[in-house]
Amino acid sequence: MAQQPPRAYRWLSVSIPPGDLPRSPTGRVPQWVLGEAAGRNPVWTPDGLPSAAPLGIAEPARYAPPGHTHARRKYLSLIVVAVLSLVPVVQWLAQFRSVDLGPDYSAVVLSRSASELPPAVETNRQRPAAGFEETGAPLGMPSVVATPSTAYRFLSTELTATEGTVPDTWSPCRPIHFVVYTGGAPQGFVDQVVASMGALSVATGLVFVNDGLTDERPSPTRNSYQPARYGDRWAPVIIGFADEATYPGLAGTVVGRGGAQPVWESRTGTYRYVSGTVVLDTTLLRERDQGGVPAYVQVLRHELGHLIGLDHIDDETQLMNPTTGTLATYQAGDLAGLAQLGQGFCAPGL
């Protein structure tokens, strides 16, 4: 077996058993989502919306100097009182604001019934037989991003002999399976997961397969190989809700955790992601919907970005910023990073 080289990474995974690899927490993420608008290979505008043709870079807003401060000081207290009195009204009106989720790409996501999946098996092996559903070429292509952007970061990268520095990715040559845990989840959660996976598929070109519901609870010590439950393959990504009592990583202001587990692939000499977890805090269910859109949906999409391999970015104009306010869709930088993550190496040895 080839020697595994040292590597540097920043970890957000929640799917790794203790002692396997280090982890670090995610931060607070946005509280509502508008949605994803894209075609199978659309061209994206700087605002994260599809366009029929590449657009030029919009001119940035010009700086406006402040007005005369003496007049502002004179009436400052009156202005503050007036603004504060309007806050409850604005909050009340916000819930009626129309939120466009964009085209529904749920159909992009494939589905498998229990009879089509590998049967449960008992084995003493530590990993599955290599090559489950692996093909010789990528299954899809990521969307074209109209405006080039470098406003993204990868969770982990490595230096290769032929390609230089590359991010760790999922194999684009096999589908990524996922299951949904509905314990504590609201009505419509499965539909929102499938729709979000469809939007992610459009951005990355990766193929996602819905394996249905699971009785497995999200756990920070989850094993990526569970043959007695999922058969002789890597465990599918699990997506669900939890509270900080059952999932300590959700303590404090953290409302979501997401990440994937990389495994060394000796044939390519790189690490490939093989399984992962996305978990949302149940406290999100107490937050007010925006225009009929559940508050948890944007958090879900932020954490799915981590699952694919995006790290936090300090740029507040991107969805992967940990404290983004009102952003609702993957922005130019997010999309550029996701597109690269969808073009990794195949993983025939895993």
pLDDT band at 324, cuts 50/70/90?
Answer: low
Q: Residue 31 above 80 pLDDT? A: no
Stronger pLDDT, 182 or 83, i.e. the higher one = 182
Q: State the Cα–Cα distance between residues 336 and 202, nearest whole angstrom.
A: 12
Q: Residue 53 above 90 pLDDT? A: no
Q: Residue 4 above 70 pLDDT? A: no
Q: Residue 175 above 90 pLDDT? A: yes
Q: Residue 10 above 70 pLDDT? A: no
Kindly report, residue by residue over 265-281, the tens digit of the pLDDT: 888 788 999 999 999 99
Compute how many other C-beta atoms are within 10 angstroms of the C-beta atom of residue 55: 15
Fold of the domain spanning 43-49+95-341: Collagenase (Catalytic Domain) (3.40.390)
Q: Residue 44 above 50 pLDDT? A: no
Q: Where are the domains of the chain?
A: 43-49+95-341
Stronger pLDDT, 229 or 161, i.e. the higher one = 229
Phi, psi of 69 (to 5 degrees): -75, -25
pLDDT at 194 (0 to 100): 97
pLDDT at 146 (0 to 100): 83
pLDDT band at 160, cuts 50/70/90?
Answer: confident
Residue 345: closest CA among 138, 200, 68, 59: 138
Q: CB-based contacts of 224: which residues, under 8 Å, 6+ apart?
A: 15, 16, 234, 235, 261, 263, 274, 275
Percent of the chain with pLDDT over 70: 69
pLDDT band at 325, cuts 50/70/90?
Answer: low
Q: Residue 23 above 80 pLDDT? A: no
Residue 270: closest CA among 182, 162, 194: 162
**Range of weakest confidence among 22-31, 135-144, 183-192:** 22-31
332-341 helix and 296-308 helix, angle to the nearest 10 degrees: 40
Per DSSP bridges, beta strands 50-51 and 43-44 are antiparallel
Q: CB-based contacts of 116: which residues, under 8 Å, 6+ apart?
A: none
Q: Residue 198 above 70 pLDDT? A: yes
pTM of the model: 0.74
Which amino acid, residue 41?
Answer: N
pLDDT band at 66, cuts 50/70/90?
Answer: very low
pLDDT band at 101, cuts 50/70/90?
Answer: low
Stronger pLDDT, 315 or 102, i.e. the higher one = 315
Average pLDDT of every residue of the chain: 77
